[in-house]
Amino acid sequence: MSEELHGMSKQLLKLRKAKSKIEQEEALLWKRFFEIADDLEGEDQSFRYVDPELQMAMAREMHQAQPQINVEVLAPMLTAEQWKMITRIERVFDMGLLETAVAKEKIDAAAVERATERKEPVPHKKFGPISKKDSEI
């Protein structure tokens, strides 16, 4: 079994290195594509290339981002009345407050238990260098 796990670790490491190399190469190709698009259409302009032989298209679509209000900048410019006009109070669930209320028996613990959902455990993939603790084994 440990021989199989060793083989799997070896193959995963090989794949990770290959994936990293491919991602770097792809990033370089896209960078060059954007440079060509800038030269042909202008900086930050949409551009599309169709390759009839490969039946593929490459494109850079530029989308205008929605303007965002920086609330920290706006707030000091407004009076208290103006601030109240554009803000609202919102109630938010607080686990700490719930635990305190249950501990003080102001909320029924059985009701909280009935409302508690427990999901199945989800496996997380971990693959990386060993720790000092691992190397002592």
Q: Is the pLDDT of residue 137 over 70?
A: no
pLDDT tens per residue, range 46-78 = 999 999 999 999 999 999 889 999 999 999 999
Q: What is the pLDDT of residue 99?
A: 97
Q: What is the pLDDT of residue 136?
A: 76
Cβ(64)–Cβ(74) under 8 Å?
A: no
Amino acid at residue number 33:
F
Query: For the chain, how big is the Rg over CA atoms in Å?
Result: 28
Cβ(103)–Cβ(96) under 8 Å?
A: no
pLDDT band at 134 (very low <50, low <70, confident <90, very high): confident
Q: At 49, phi and psi to the nearest 5?
A: -120, 130
Q: Is the pLDDT of residue 109 over 80?
A: yes
* pTM: predicted TM-score of the whole model, two decimal places: 0.59
The CA distance from 98 to 107, in Å, is 8
Spell out the domain ranges in the chain: 2-119
The rounded percent of the chain whose pLDDT value lies above 70 is: 99
CB atoms within 10 A of CB 37: 21
pLDDT tens per residue, range 32-41 = 999 999 999 9
Average pLDDT of the chain to the nearest whole number? 93
